[in-house]
Amino acid sequence: MTNIAIISGSHREQGNSHRVGHYIAHLLQQSNHNADNIDITELPLWDEGLWGKEQLAAKWQMWEGISERLQAAEAFVIITPEYCGMASPMITNFLLIANSQEVGHKPGLIVGVSASRGGAYPIAQLRSFSVKNNHLCWIPDHVIIRDVDTFLEEVNGGKSSYTAEMLNYALKMLGDYAIALRHVRESGNVDYKTFPYGM
């Protein structure tokens, strides 16, 4: 059994990305993984309080619980809605805050969500710019859930689809990468002291 954290970046309380997150948790549990849906909707925008600046530090107490859960996870599903052709600010803020001790050298599956035919831009954005400092490892596969309302209606009604099959497969691969990357973290070669900010 692998502990897999799910992070959804919708800014809307009833956002489809959150609904996709619940569906993914259900799929992971069916495959005997432990799914931990971490709510980041109250996460403040990064500021120096996170690095200990006293006047700003109090609000970051809320990160401690999230940090512990990230450290306990061996893989991540990061779900981002496409907002104006970008990953949501909530997701990029999360990736700015999460550090190597929490997510470094652990595999991540990106899931893009679009109400219409979009969803690709946030994936390109996150693959290119998001892991230099935190050392999270995106796996080669990603999933774009287009026409998300129809998708959710279908899967919640017990109907399969090509997208649902892709999601199942990508989650299976994520589980395998979670096991494989344990060796990297335990190799003794990881050196965050000399190279804290990536390359």
Binding residues for ligand FMN, rule: CB under 6 A, are 10, 12, 15-17, 81-85, 113-116, 118-119, 148
Which residue's Cβ has the minimum distance to ligand FMN?
Answer: 118
Q: Where are the alpha helices (DSSP H) in 33-144?
A: 54-57, 61-72, 89-97, 100-103, 120-128
* CA distances, 119 to each of 58, 87, 111 (Å): 36, 9, 9
The nearest distance, CB 160 to ligand FMN, in angstroms, is: 21
- Pick between residue 14 and residue 194 the one whose CB is nearest to ligand FMN: 14
* CA distances, 9 to each of 26, 34, 126 (Å): 18, 20, 13
- Pick between residue 148 and residue 167 the one whose CB is nearest to ligand FMN: 148
Q: Which two tokens stand for residue 95?
A: 């990736």
* Environment class of 38 (CB within 10 Å of its CB; exposed 0-12, middle 13-18, buried 19+): middle
The nearest distance, CB 86 to ligand FMN, in angstroms, is: 7
Distance CA 140, CA 107 (A): 10
Question: What is the per-residue DSSP string for 22-52?
Answer: HHHHHHHHHTTPEEEEE--TTPPPP-GGGGT
- Pick between residue 149 and residue 176 the one whose CB is nearest to ligand FMN: 149
- Pick between residue 85 and residue 196 the one whose CB is nearest to ligand FMN: 85
The nearest distance, CB 80 to ligand FMN, in angstroms, is: 8
The nearest distance, CB 152 to ligand FMN, in angstroms, is: 9
The nearest distance, CB 13 to ligand FMN, in angstroms, is: 9
What end-to-end distance do the CA atoms of the chain give, in Å?
Answer: 33
- Pick between residue 15 and residue 108 the one whose CB is nearest to ligand FMN: 15
